[in-house]
Structure 1
Amino acid sequence: MNSDKQSVASTGFVNRKRKPRVGTILLIVALHILGLYGLAKAFAPDMTATVERTVVSAFTVTVTAPEEETPVTEPEPDEGAQGDPGLKATPKPVTAPTSPIKTRETPAPRASSTGAANTSGARDQGDGTGADGSGLGTGSGRDGGGTGGVAATKPQHVSGRINNARDYPVPPGGRDARRGTEVIVRVIVGVNGRASNCSVYKPSPDPEADRITCQLVVDRLGFKPAQDAQGNPVAAPFYWRQRWF
């Protein structure tokens, strides 16, 4: 106290010691730390990087964002889409009414006649198919077992002849080329005994000789006509064989 007073008396001011402030102290400490950090980063960058990662990871807070709910949207109907099917119609059972009218059963008609199975003619006698008379024939008016109009005998050659040497021309290879061959022609012998409608039934190697044979049979030969069972002349076929020797 006395010293303070002496100081004041000599200088005219009072010397009081002030207490340092907290903020000033913190500022000084921070400046020292920054200075040390700058020196360490300049001379030991790897160590400072490791320290930074450690400090940052200590203060890192992982924040998980809530999952966003996906809005559910109902599909819009297509303008041309098919509509929902309607209910299936089920028909009601229908029972046909019973007819009050009773129908009569019509009996089958009776057979027109009865008789033996072997009777087919217009008369009830005999087994034939003719329209008149009795017997076993197929004629329509005569008795007997004949067939009527069918030849019972064959035509017979009675006149005319064909000469191998004079009636045929000499073939290109000579007569020996035709020797040993034959031709068969077919004609129809009428009731007058004349032949007609000649055709080659079995040809020879010489078509020209076959043609000449047909012409000679029709023009030159005469026949006795065939006869039926009653002796009547009827037309019938005849086969003429011409051989060359």
Structure 2
Amino acid sequence: MPAPDLKPRKRARLIIAVAVLGLHVAAIVALVAVFAPSLGDAALRPVLQAVNVTLATPSPPPPPPPAPRPSPSNAVAQAQGAAAPPAKKARPRAVAAPAPRIVIATPPAPPVAGEGAANRAGASAAGAGTGAVGIGQGTGAGGSGTGTGGGGGAVKAVKIAGDIVSARDYPRRTRDLRLGSAVTIALTVGADGRPTACRIVGPSRDPEADRITCDLATSRFRFRPARNAAGEPVISIYGWQQRWFTPERN
């Protein structure tokens, strides 16, 4: 038969002995705490004193070293490098502009107006037939123009080219609406003699014909530009009246 295993029994006995010993120690500590508390304090005081640690206050850091003083050679060098006093300001010499030369040109003689009922500069003589300029008989008769300009030797603008004399320039469907009426326009004539703008100042009964008259006058008319007292070409306003007459029947 195999021998019985004795290790578990020994282990159990050892555990029981340790437990009994712990109970005895706990009972002794309890009795001391109840009947002799001063004895317990005396026993624990060395342990508590051993745990207390005194922390030393750190010493302040040493002061920074003083800044080095400049040597005499550096002081001399800085004194020598000082800025020089400001220089004197230069005053420009006054220069007078030359007096402008004024050239007064002799204005040309005004053109001779044609003989007719028109009494405004730029009007042509009276005539008969379709498209006659001035006061004429026909469905596309033109009108008279007026220039602008001040006195004192100034010269007004003069129309030298371009006319509106054909009835085909206007729409046929509004013919009866505009016959017997007239439109007055104001042309802005540039210094080069070309119209640059047109404004209707006296409309007729046909607004479409008024607009066409402005377009035709701007594109066809050319002028001798107006001049000021010094003889220089200047911008001016030129008035033009376009009339539509009913043709006479014999």
Normalization by structure 2: what TM-score?
0.37
- Rg larger for: 1
The structure with the greater share of residues assigned to helix is 2
Normalization by structure 1: what TM-score?
0.38
